[in-house]
Amino acid sequence: MGSVERIRNVAKRVAKWHRAGYQMIVVPSAMSGETNRLLALAKEVDGNPSPRELDMIASTGEQVSVGLLVIALQAEGVDAVSFCGWQVPIKTDTAYTKARITHIDDRRVRAELAQRKVVVITGFQGVTEDGHITTLGRGGSDTQAVAVAAALKADECLIYTDVDAVYTTDPRVEPDARPLGSVTFEEMLEMASLGSKILQIRSVEFAGKYKVPTRVLTSFSDPMIPIAEEAKSGTLITFEEDENVEQAIISGIAFSRDEAKLSVRGVPDRPGIAYAILGPVAKANIDVDMIIQNVGVGGTTDFSFTVHRNDMQRALDVLKNEVQPVIHAGEVTGDAKVAKVSAVGIGMRSHVGVAALMFETLSKEGINIQMISTSEIKISVVIEDKYMELAVRALHRAFELDKESA
Amino acid sequence: MGSVERIRNVAKRVAKWHRAGYQMIVVPSAMSGETNRLLALAKEVDGNPSPRELDMIASTGEQVSVGLLVIALQAEGVDAVSFCGWQVPIKTDTAYTKARITHIDDRRVRAELAQRKVVVITGFQGVTEDGHITTLGRGGSDTQAVAVAAALKADECLIYTDVDAVYTTDPRVEPDARPLGSVTFEEMLEMASLGSKILQIRSVEFAGKYKVPTRVLTSFSDPMIPIAEEAKSGTLITFEEDENVEQAIISGIAFSRDEAKLSVRGVPDRPGIAYAILGPVAKANIDVDMIIQNVGVGGTTDFSFTVHRNDMQRALDVLKNEVQPVIHAGEVTGDAKVAKVSAVGIGMRSHVGVAALMFETLSKEGINIQMISTSEIKISVVIEDKYMELAVRALHRAFELDKESA
C-alpha cells in the first residue's frame, strides 16, 4: 500500500466485495518504503543487527497498515477488525527474518467473519511457539495471504500487485509480451523461481501445496470496477490440467540478472569433491542454484555454480578460505556479469525439440551459453548479462509467444 | 529516544550499569515525533479513527525503539532481549488509548534477567485479557517503567527525562528556581497534577501505590558518568517522611496554562443542581478540576468549574445543549484566558499562614484571584493567564524557594 489515498482505494474495493456478500480477509503489505526505512534504521544502529530484533522492528510496518486499513474500512461504513500475526495466531518456526508458517489457527478469524466483519491481518509476520515475533522475509505478505486463504479454505486468493497479469515475459523487455489468462501452478513456480518478481516463490509453493486458487490482478484498476469483471481479470493460477485444452508448449520466458557464477578450477577429480566444495557454501547459508562439473585434464576437473549476486562475495570468501586450502584446488573465480534466461511451459513435458529450438535461437544471435539446467517444464541457460534482453526477445519470438493462443 | 545517536548513548549508559552488576530492565519511549507521526497518519485516513486501531498503530513506535535499543546493546557486547507489552505480558483493561495496567506477569522477564540479559520492554502499551493491543496514553512509557519496577520489586526506578531534576518551579519562568534533591510522593503527585510536565501523573500514582523509589534524572548527561555520581543525581521521590529533618513548608510552585473556566449563571439554588450540571459533563468524558459555587441573588446561584483547555468547546456544547434547557439556567460562558498557579508542600500541613502569604503576595502584585482550591499540601488559584509568570516569580520569592534549604 502506498499513500493514504491508496489505502482509501483498497478500502473502497474491499467494501465493494463485502457489500456484495463475500466474506473478506485482507492481508495488506506495509506502506511503500516503510520496511526498507525500518531495516535501514536498524542497520544504522549496528551493521550486523540481531535477526530477532530485526523482526521486532520490521514487523511494525504491516501493523501500521492493518490499523490504517481498518480505519479506512470503518470510514466506508464497513465493520472491520485488524489482527497481528500473533493475534490470529499464525505460528511459524524460529527462522527469524525468513520464518516459515507451521500452523494457522482459524478460530478467532472465523468468529469475526461470522459477525459480518472484514478481517485485516498483517502480512509478512507470525509468532513462534515461544511467543517471539518472526517475519516471513521479502514478499511475505503474499505468502501470508495464500496461507490464510488455505487455512480458511477460501474460494479464491486475490493477489493485487502492480502488474495486471502474468505475462509471457516482462513487457518492459519485450513489448509484444501477452497477458496469460491462466498458468499452471508448476509453471508459475518456475517463473517465480526464475526471477519473475510478480509473486514470491514461497507464496506459489503454498498455493500449490494447499491447492489455493490464486489470482494475480492489478491494484491500479478503478476500485469500483464491477465484481463480475474484476473476478475474471488478471491471471489465475490453476492446479488441474484440463486435458481437453491444447496446452501451449511454452508459456513464458523468464529471466534474472540477480545471478553470479563461481568457478573452482583444477579440482582433483575424486568422489566427494562436490560436497567438499558446496558443503561449506551451504553451511554459510548461501543458496546455490545451478551446478556444473566439467571434465578437465590430467585428473582434475572444473566446478561451477551460481548464487544470488548479493551472495557472490561471501561465497568467494568461503571458497578461498575454507575450500581451496582443503581440497588443494587451483584458481577460484567469481563472475557477476551473468544472467539466467529460461523457457517455461507445462507443454514441454510432451514435446521434444524445445531445447533444440532454444539453443538454435541463441546461436543464431551469437550468444554463448555458459551453463544449462533443465527440469520437466523449463530449460534455463546462463549467458553473459549484456545479451539478456536480446535473448529474451529472440526466444519470445521463436516460441511464438507474441501470437494469440500459440 | 531521539536519533540513532541517542539510542547508542542509552545503550552505553545501560551497559555501564549492567557491567557494574545491576540487573537492568529498560523501558524506552518511541523515537521523537514517531507517535505523533503515526497518530497523524491515522487521522489523515479518517478524522475519527477507532480507538482500538489507533492503539494498533501507535504501539508500533515503542516496538521499533525496543528493537533498536537491543541492537545497540548487543553492539556494546551486552546480551539483551526485547519484549512487547503482550509478550511480557502486561495486562490492561480495555480502555483503548488510555488503558490501565491490571497485572504484570514477571516470570518471562525474571527468566531472562536470570540469564544475565538486559530486558528491554515497550513503554506505553499492554494487552487485554482477550489479546487486543492497548496503549496507556501519553506519558505511558513512564507509567510502564514504574509499573514494571513495582512488579519486579526493583530497588529503584530511574526515569531519564529532558530535565536534570524536579525544580522548585520551572526555571524558564523563574531563573532562580532550584533543583530538589528529593520530594515526597504526595508533593510530586500535586506537582504532576498541577501541570508540571516532568512525570505523567499516572506514573506518580503508580510509584505511590506500590512505593517504588523513583528518581528523575537527565538523559543528557555523559553516559559514562560514574555510577556512584549518577545514582545520586536528579530528584528522588520518597515515601517516608523523615521526622528528624526540617521539612520545607513549600517545596515548589506549580502552574498550568492548559486551563479553561466555565460558568453557568442564574442557576436555581436547589439540591441536586451540581449533579444536574456536572453529570452531563462527566458523561461526555470531560475531566473537571476545580468547582466553585457562589451564592447569587434572588434564589439563584452562579456555578463555575475548570476543565482542560482542549475540552472547553465540548464542555460549552454540553452545557448549552443538555444543561441550560433542563435546569433553566441563565448565561453560560467559557473563558480560556485563565491559568492555575499552586504552592505545593508537605510542610504546609503543620503550618498556618501559607494561604495568607500566598493571597497577600498576589494582592501586592495586583493579581485578581478568580477561584481558589486547597488540599492538605497545596493551594491553587485561578488567575488571568497573562499574570501567570508574574505570579509564579512573586510566589517563588515570597516562599524563599530561591534560598538554599528554606
Buried b (16+ CB within 10 A) or exposed e, A306-337: bbbbebbeebbebbeebbbeebebeebebbee
Pick the range with the lowest mean pLDDT from A129-143, B252-266, B327-341: A129-143
What distance in Å separates residue A93's CA from the closest CA in chain B? 17
| Of the partner residues B46, B72, B133, the one whose CB lies closest to the CB of residue A45 | B72
Are the C-beta atoms of A214 and A146 separated by less than 8 Å? yes
Position B404 confidence tier, pLDDT thresholds 50, 70, 90: confident
What is the average pLDDT value for chain A, to the nearest integer?
Answer: 89
Are the C-beta atoms of A343 and A378 separated by less than 8 Å? yes
Q: In this predicted model, what pLDDT tens digit does every residue of B24-55 receive, in sequence order? A: 999 998 998 998 999 999 999 999 999 999 99
- Could you tell me where the DSSP H helices lie in B261-328? 273-283, 312-318, 324-327
pLDDT on residue A137:
77
B68 and A131: CB-CB below 8 Å?
no
Percent of chain B whose predicted confidence (pLDDT) is above 90:
59
CA distance A198 to A400: 22
B133 and A46: CB-CB below 8 Å?
no
Q: In this predicted model, what pLDDT tens digit does every residue of A150-175 receive, in sequence order? A: 988 999 999 998 888 888 998 889 99
Residue A138 burial (CB < 10 Å; 0-12/13-18/19+)? middle
Interface residue ranges in chain A relative to chain B, Cβ cutoff 8 Å:
4, 7-8, 38, 41-42, 44-46, 49-50, 52-54, 56-57, 59-60, 63-64, 66-68, 70-72, 74-75, 81-82, 84, 86-87, 131-133
Q: Which amino acid is at B18?
A: H
For B4-238, CATH gives 3.40.1160.10
A56 and B67: CB-CB below 8 Å?
yes
Position A246 confidence tier, pLDDT thresholds 50, 70, 90: low
Written as nine digits, the cell of A10 is 483498497
Radius of gyration, CA atoms only, chain A: 23
Neighboring chain A residues of B5 at a CB cutoff of 8 Å: none
Name the nearest CA neighbour of A371 among A278, A306, A310, A288: A306
Give the three-state DSSP class for A198.
coil
Position B244 confidence tier, pLDDT thresholds 50, 70, 90: very low
Q: In this predicted model, what pLDDT tens digit does every residue of B118-151 receive, in sequence order? A: 999 998 899 999 999 999 876 778 888 998 999 8
A45 and B71: CB-CB below 8 Å?
yes
| Of the partner residues B49, B56, B70, the one whose CB lies closest to the CB of residue A63 | B56
What distance in Å separates residue B27's CA from the closest CA in chain A? 15
Residue tagged 489470482 (cell numbers): A215
Neighboring chain A residues of B71 at a CB cutoff of 8 Å: 42, 45-46, 49-50, 53-54
| Of the partner residues B53, B60, B72, the one whose CB lies closest to the CB of residue A46 | B72
Question: To the nearest 10°, the Cα dihedral for B165, B170, B175, B176?
Answer: -70
Query: Can you say how many angstroms the Cα of residue A92 is from the centroid of all Cα atoms in its chain?
Result: 19
The residues, any chain, with a CB within 8 Å of residue A148's CB and separated by 6 or more, are A25, A27, A88, A90, A104, A109, A121, A154
Which DSSP category does A358 fall into?
H
Radius of gyration, CA atoms only, chain B: 23
Query: Can you say how many angstroms the Cα of residue A195 is from the centroid of all Cα atoms in its chain?
Result: 7
Residue A227 burial (CB < 10 Å; 0-12/13-18/19+)? middle
In chain A, where the domains are located: 4-238, 252-398
Quote ipTM for the complex: 0.77
Neighboring chain B residues of A78 at a CB cutoff of 8 Å: none
A53 and B70: CB-CB below 8 Å?
yes
Neighboring chain A residues of B68 at a CB cutoff of 8 Å: 41-42, 45, 53, 57
Bridge partner list, A384: A338
A67 and B86: CB-CB below 8 Å?
no
CA distance A400 to A132: 51
| Of the partner residues B4, B46, B131, the one whose CB lies closest to the CB of residue A44 | B4
A50 and B74: CB-CB below 8 Å?
yes
pLDDT on residue A406:
41
Residue-level length of chain A: 406
Pick the range with the lowest mean pLDDT from A61-75, B234-248, B334-348: B234-248
Neighboring chain A residues of B44 at a CB cutoff of 8 Å: 4
Residue tagged 534466461 (cell numbers): A341
Candidates A12, A68, A83, A121: best to mutate against B (most CBs of B within 10 A) is A68
The residues, any chain, with a CB within 8 Å of residue A279's CB and separated by 6 or more, are none
Percent of chain A whose predicted confidence (pLDDT) is above 90:
60
What distance in Å separates residue B112's CA from the closest CA in chain A? 13
Neighboring chain A residues of B75 at a CB cutoff of 8 Å: 45-46
SS3 sequence of A76-93:
CCCCEEEECHHHCCEEEC
Give the three-state DSSP class for A339.
strand
Neighboring chain B residues of A67 at a CB cutoff of 8 Å: 42, 53-54, 56-57
- Determine the residue of chain A that is closest to B54 in CA distance: A67
What's the mean pLDDT in B390-403? 93
- Determine the residue of chain A that is closest to B68 in CA distance: A42
CA distance B23 to A188: 53
What distance in Å separates residue A129's CA from the closest CA in chain B? 12
CA distances from A75 to A4, A115, B134 (A): 13, 18, 21
Q: Select A252-398's CATH number: 3.20.20.150, 3.40.50.10470, 3.30.2130.10, 1.20.1250.20.
A: 3.30.2130.10
- Determine the residue of chain B that is closest to A38 in CA distance: B64
Buried b (16+ CB within 10 A) or exposed e, A74-112: bbbebebbbbbbbbbbbbbeeebbbbbbeebeeebbeeb
Interface residue ranges in chain B relative to chain A, Cβ cutoff 8 Å:
4, 7-8, 38, 41-42, 44-46, 49-50, 52-54, 56-57, 59-60, 63-64, 66-68, 70-72, 74-75, 81-82, 84, 86-87, 131-133
For residues B277 and A269, the model is more confident at: B277
H or E stretch including B375? strand B369-375
A87 and B4: CB-CB below 8 Å?
no
Written as nine digits, the cell of B50 is 477507532
Residue tagged 502474468 (cell numbers): A166
A67 and B53: CB-CB below 8 Å?
yes
For residues B166 and B200, the model is more confident at: B166
Would you say the C-alpha torsion A113, A119, A122, A123 has a positive or negative sign? positive
Are the C-beta atoms of A82 and A70 separated by less than 8 Å? yes
CA distance A109 to A82: 10
Q: CA triplet B24, B233, B144: central angle to 5 degrees?
A: 40
Written as nine digits, the cell of A297 is 585434464
Neighboring chain B residues of A70 at a CB cutoff of 8 Å: 50, 53, 56
What is the average pLDDT value for chain B, to the nearest integer?
Answer: 89
CA distance B193 to A183: 66
Candidates A7, A57, A73: best to mutate against B (most CBs of B within 10 A) is A57
B75 and A46: CB-CB below 8 Å?
yes
Bridge partner list, B369: B383
pLDDT on residue B405:
59
B195 pLDDT higher than 70: no
Helix/strand/coil percentages in chain A, nearest 5:
40, 25, 35
Buried b (16+ CB within 10 A) or exposed e, A33-51: ebbeebbebbebbbeebbb
What distance in Å separates residue A18's CA from the closest CA in chain B? 19
* DSSP labels, B174-232: -TT--B-SEEEHHHHHHHHHTT-TTS-HHHHHHHHHHT--EEEEESSS-TTS-HHHHTT
Written as nine digits, the cell of B131 is 489479546
Q: CA triplet B353, B359, B361: central angle to 5 degrees?
A: 100
A56 and B82: CB-CB below 8 Å?
yes
Q: Where are the beta strands (DSSP E) in A202-351?
A: 214-218, 235-238, 252-268, 288-295, 300-308, 332-344
